[in-house]
Amino acid sequence: DIQMTQSPSTLSASVGDRVTITCRASQSIGDSLAWYQQKPGKAPTLLIYKTSSLESGSPSRFSASGYGTEFTLTISSLQPDDFATYYCQQFKGYWNFGPGTKVDVK
């Protein structure tokens, strides 16, 4: 099975900060990675698919990159609506999610 890790588990930041979250796979998954945002009590929403493609409706301050085993999600300038938990998800083999990164207020 492919295991996913994320770092950091919690990230404290301020509005306007540039924020980067890292996701790693236990084996190469190519570009078979997506990113989701989840706010408390709500279903997740898709942000990025196929490693770097921005989902329609997602703000352009979100970007992502990577290939193989290491991936990053970047928020160029953190906005109040961005405080949430972010999950990566691989779909090379059986699908599974990373453990999540919570972005909270510094």
Binding residues for another protein (CB under 8 A): 1, 32, 34, 36, 38, 43-46, 49-50, 55, 87, 89, 91, 94-100
Strand (E) positions, the chain?
Answer: 4-7, 10-13, 19-25, 33-38, 45-49, 53-54, 62-67, 70-75, 85-90, 96-97, 101-105
> At closest approach, how far in Å is the CB of 70 from another protein?
18
Q: Please, which residue, 19 or 36, has the CB nearer to another protein?
A: 36
Q: Please, which residue, 65 or 95, has the CB nearer to another protein?
A: 95
Q: Check the CA dihedral 100-75-34-29 and report its sign.
A: negative
d(CA 49, CA 14): 26
Q: Please, which residue, 7 or 77, has the CB nearer to another protein?
A: 7
> At closest approach, how far in Å is the CB of 89 from another protein?
7
CB-count burial class (<10 Å; 0-12, 13-18, 19+) for 78 = buried
> At closest approach, how far in Å is the CB of 15 from another protein?
26
> At closest approach, how far in Å is the CB of 99 from another protein?
5
